[in-house]
Amino acid sequence: MSRTSNDWLLTPNGDPRGYIQPERLDELWFHTGTNCNLRCPFCLEGSKPGDNRIEFITFEDFLPLAKEALPLGLKRFSFTGGEPFVNPAMVQILDWALTHRPCLVLTNATEPLMNRMAEILAFADAPNALSFRVSLDFSDPERHDAGRGKGNFRKSLRTLGRLHEAGFSVSIARLQEDGEVPADADAAYSRYFAEAGLPEATRIARHHLGDTLHRCYCGGAHADVWCVEATYQCEYYLGCAPTPEAAAVAVATQLRAAGWVPTHARLEWFE
């Protein structure tokens, strides 16, 4: 990948940074920052209000990377957080991105999106389609609100309905539980889809905790589990807490198994 400067090859401490030289790219994901308006106990990253472990991506950060991705055959820009609409630059980023490719935003569809609804509705006429995937963890509003805050199930549902009415493609992401019958769990959302004016066939993305886990080398009781992200979630979900060194081994081993052996890779540890 070309750059006008080689600064990106180094970490802020001046250490060499590992990278992959792509030849083709279908989808480019941007992390908009770990700041979120909610404080969900099961968050994969521990995002919360005021959390700046991963700082807000700015339009100036986004633009050169986005431009570089286009000639690689890019089909879609996708955005996750944190909560993307907490980021002050999110609307500006989408304004540029939607002139070039379709976009997907993962969001909790509460106040940050609601407060910018007028700006977002303007994207209904953008050259490319904007899609939203909204977190509705459980079909029981009380269970959803237990993790995301009282009243947030209904807020997200109303926002889903408004976005669909404006012509945007919408889907939901839910938590999948051990022992459930997936079709039955999906069907339990039908009454809420009808309430919000959504199609009965609205897509449901199931997120099982195990989907984010790969092999864990912490030496704990779950050594047969894999971990993509070694953060406090290991302790929260599995009851074992790997050291930073063990976490680095887990990630490095996964990268090598995928056939990537960087000359140098710096792995950050977030408490």
With beta carbons less than 8 A apart as the criterion, state whether 130 and 103 touch: yes
pLDDT above 80 for 7: no
Band the pLDDT of 24: cuts 50, 70, 90: confident
Band the pLDDT of 5: cuts 50, 70, 90: low
Tokens of 234: 């290991």
pLDDT single digits (tens) 40-69 = 887 877 899 999 988 999 999 999 999 999
Q: Which residue has tokens 């990106």?
A: 8
- Range of weakest confidence among 72-76, 86-90, 126-130: 72-76
pLDDT for 176? 86
What is the arithmetic mean of pLDDT over 135-149?
Answer: 95
Cα distances (angstroms) measured from residue 133 to each of 48, 50, 229 = 19, 23, 22
pLDDT single digits (tens) 190-217 = 999 999 999 999 999 987 654 433 333 3
The radius of gyration of the chain from alpha carbons, rounded to an integer in Å, stands at 20
Reported pTM:
0.74
